[in-house]
Amino acid sequence: MAFPLSAETASSPAVDTTLARRLQAARPSATGAMSQAARRLAAEGRDIISLSEGELDFDTPVHIQHAAMRGIIEGQTRYTDVGGTPQLRASIVRKFVRDNNLHYKEAEVIASTGAKQILFNALLATLDAGDEAVVVAPYWVSYSEMIRIAGGEPVVVTPQADNGFKLTPERLAEALTPRTRWLILNAPCNPSGALYTADELRALADVVRAHPRLLVMSDDIYEEIVFEGAFVSFAQASPDMQARTLTINGVSKAYAMTGWRLGYAGGPRWLIQALELLQSQSTSNPSSVSQAAALAALDGPQDFLDGWRSRLRGRRDLALSILSQAAPLLRMACPPAAFYLYADCSAALGRITPAGQRLETDMDLARYLLEEAGVAVVPGTAFGLAPYLRLAYALSDERLALACERIVSACARLQPLSAAPSA
């Protein structure tokens, strides 16, 4: 029998809500926040087109879906080895040989709950207070926050835009100190689409060799989405760097499997063992059903990727063609890889919206485009380089064209400060 609580008993004592110091400097994901704002407006009945989320609109290929269903029917629904089934690990080893000419033993690869988990665990396993990690701006939003949560300090290097936002050996050398533990290299890059040649990577490796404590995190998640040029992984360009490189990839981007949460990596055994230790005490093994699907993705047919790349290239060119009408308020280069446009919006700042608001930052402009045009984009502030906007063009041609036309129209309604009516 339940008894009603008295008012005195029901009142809760004061609660200490202090969080750990490691979280005090971390910020929530800006892409997630923009997507949430877009969903809120859509729930209110607005027609919102989101260019903010980094995922393909394609369905996971049917043969991968069927592999997951077979896995369920065959009872592959229990715990597996922490770092992945032997079958999946063997498939990861084959993938690295086939596509990157990187040779690992099965004990030197790991599967995890998304590439994001591998990134975070690698930083957590290797960074102590005062350690530094070099990130190249513009950078994926979570790098700097992960470094801070792990107890390290992000050191941001911003290359020249006219060089495709690519890190040069000179800039890398300037950023390194005795405290530097990691260089995080993401290519193709989210958000800039930067893609390095083998020679450019070898030049960076020459700098890395002079710093024995320095490790390289090669985030290759967009490997398959290259339109011009060729993808080369960091350790592929400089094989002697393999012992100091964690090469990270996953099935999310290449196979339209973001929700399956399956990433993988190859690296030196001592580091892979550390990642397994952390994983064993946090998430344990990645989803067994997702592992069955990933096995089919890596070992199965790859020919559909050519068609996907062709469609994405067409969308990129469509978006650039329409958005060129918003120049000079928006200026962007043609990225050779990934599925983002990174638009310089500095010329739009200082302008006045139809509601009389002055745009001071790229965040203001992103908010204006969401509320005025019904288009969600992510401000460059989130990627460590402002004032820019990131636009993800992985959606249907019709919706993409409409979104770009709305952006052009909204930019045309912005007035110079001198033209604004006086108060």
Q: Residue 104's domain is classified under what CATH number?
A: 3.40.640.10
Host domain of residue 118: 62-299
On whether residue 199 sits in a domain, the answer given is yes
Same domain, 148 and 281: yes
Same domain, 250 and 394: no
Among 265, 299, 333, which residue terminates a domain? 299
Burial 129-165 (b: 16+ CB within 10 A, else e): eebbbbbbbbbbbbbbbbbbbbebbbbebebebeebb
Among 282, 299, 316, which residue terminates a domain? 299
On whether residue 33 sits in a domain, the answer given is yes
Domain count, the chain: 2
Same domain, 98 and 181: yes
Same domain, 94 and 41: no
To 10 degrees, the CA torsion angle through 40, 42, 46, 47?
140
Q: Residue 50's domain is classified under what CATH number?
A: 3.90.1150.10
Q: What is the pLDDT along the chain (423 residues), one digit of tens a residue?
A: 444 555 555 556 789 988 888 887 777 766 677 777 888 888 999 999 999 989 999 999 999 999 999 999 999 999 999 999 999 999 999 999 999 999 999 999 999 999 999 999 999 999 999 999 999 999 999 999 999 999 999 999 999 999 999 999 999 999 999 999 999 999 999 999 999 999 999 999 999 999 999 999 999 999 999 999 999 999 999 999 999 999 999 999 999 999 999 999 999 999 999 999 999 999 999 999 999 999 999 999 999 999 999 999 999 999 999 999 999 999 999 999 999 999 999 999 999 999 999 999 999 999 999 999 999 999 999 999 999 999 999 999 999 999 999 999 999 999 998 765 554
Distance, CA of 336 to CA of 229 (rounded, Å): 7
